[in-house]
Chain A
């Protein structure tokens, strides 16, 4: 069937502002939006720019605003986005990060926030002979937040992040959650420096867009609230 793929395109060398461009694409119901973007790029307009790597929902390169919601282009199926032939699927770059060209945004502010929470195991105690053991229950405590692929779908769906780009964002807080609730980690207070700052967790106003947007179904807002409580209860 034919669908219209309406893409928000932007080339800083040619125009001052982004504009919508529509493409007619032949699509199967089980095609992914990524397949449609490929069809446009390979057959209609080679100048279309977008990021993708694995194409299977693991690398986290192709988060975009598809039909008004953040999704991975490689996980969004045509049949879930259209009702009949001729319907339109809209694709925009994720919001709150500077657009470089078409659907490619500058991810640097996002990764800067990621690095600020020190996303690695911190433990200065001398390691035991073999390994730092952990019970299955302790491992389960932070299981959900290990699933993050850093696609930025959550952070760029957040209304607070749109208007205040200095907010550390849901993704960085999920990454912090992964270590704060790890029984082997001792670096919680070090991470709290970034998380309890004025640009940290307290910016979260629980709009739940992050939780709805996460392609890995991480309960993002739950993780943020747990980090908020960890910081609060640490004071007493």
Chain B
């Protein structure tokens, strides 16, 4: 593994989260288009989305969308300002700060509900 620094990991996670979002979007579109075969098929497919494993996956989708959006803003600043590249490392830490700010409340709201349906709490 090449020992790159923050920029390499920012790029790597951006690519990974982008692929994850794309995959989710495909599943999502397929799921919705199942309505073509009537409400029974559609309902049965949507039931899968309420299984605990899928809901945990959706928490991952939230994380991917958040990171991709916030780091995307960082990329825009680097591409269109004279100072963005110079401050790329600080900007990346800013991305994580904002990420935590949005993601922690989402976790507090969602995770107990998932655990409740699983009967853990």
Given contacts A159-B11, A221-B85, contact A208 B75 (CB under 8 A): no
The bracket for how many chain A residues form the interface is 20 to 34
Q: B2 within 8 Å of A by Cβ?
A: yes
Closest to A65 in B: B2
The bracket for how many chain B residues form the interface is 20 to 34
Question: Are B2 and A206 in touch, CB under 8 angstroms?
Answer: no
Q: B86 within 8 Å of A by Cβ?
A: yes
- Enumerate 10 A-B pairs (CB-CB under 8 Å) in ascending A order: A95-B2, A159-B12, A207-B8, A207-B10, A208-B7, A208-B88, A209-B7, A211-B7, A221-B88, A222-B85
Which residues of chain B come closer than 8 Å to A206, judged between CB atoms?
7, 11, 75, 78-79, 85, 88
A77 to chain B, nearest CB (A): 17
B-binding residues in A (CB < 8 A): 65, 67-69, 95, 157, 159, 205-209, 211-212, 219, 221-222, 225, 228-229
> CA separation between A33 and B86, bound complex, in Å?
30
Which residues of chain A come closer than 8 Å to B8, judged between CB atoms?
159, 207-209
Q: B113 within 8 Å of A by Cβ?
A: no
Question: Are A68 and B3 in touch, CB under 8 angstroms?
Answer: yes
Q: Looking at chain B's contact residues, is the secondary structure mostly helix, strand, loop, or mixed?
A: helix
> CA separation between A206 and B14, bound complex, in Å?
11
Q: B104 within 8 Å of A by Cβ?
A: no
> CA separation between A207 and B88, bound complex, in Å?
10
A55 to chain B, nearest CB (A): 25
Q: B5 within 8 Å of A by Cβ?
A: yes
Question: Are B78 and A207 in touch, CB under 8 angstroms?
Answer: no
- Nearest 3 pairs between A and B by C-beta? A208-B7, A68-B3, A207-B11
Question: Which among B2, B15, B88 has the highest number of chain A CB atoms within 10 Å?
Answer: B2
Closest to B8 in A: A207
Which residues of chain B come closer than 8 Å to A69, judged between CB atoms?
2-4
A99 to chain B, nearest CB (A): 16
- Residue interface mask B10-27, A partner, CB < 8 A = 1: 111011000000000000
Question: Are B5 and A208 in touch, CB under 8 angstroms?
Answer: yes
> CA separation between A221 and B2, bound complex, in Å?
18
Given contacts A207-B11, A225-B78, A225-B79, contact A212 B4 (CB under 8 A): yes
Which residues of chain B come closer than 8 Å to A65, judged between CB atoms?
2
Q: B1 within 8 Å of A by Cβ?
A: yes
Closest to B2 in A: A68
Which residues of chain B come closer than 8 Å to A225, judged between CB atoms?
78-79, 84-85
Given contacts A225-B78, A225-B85, contact A208 B4 (CB under 8 A): yes
Given contacts A221-B85, A225-B78, contact A212 B2 (CB under 8 A): no
A93 to chain B, nearest CB (A): 13
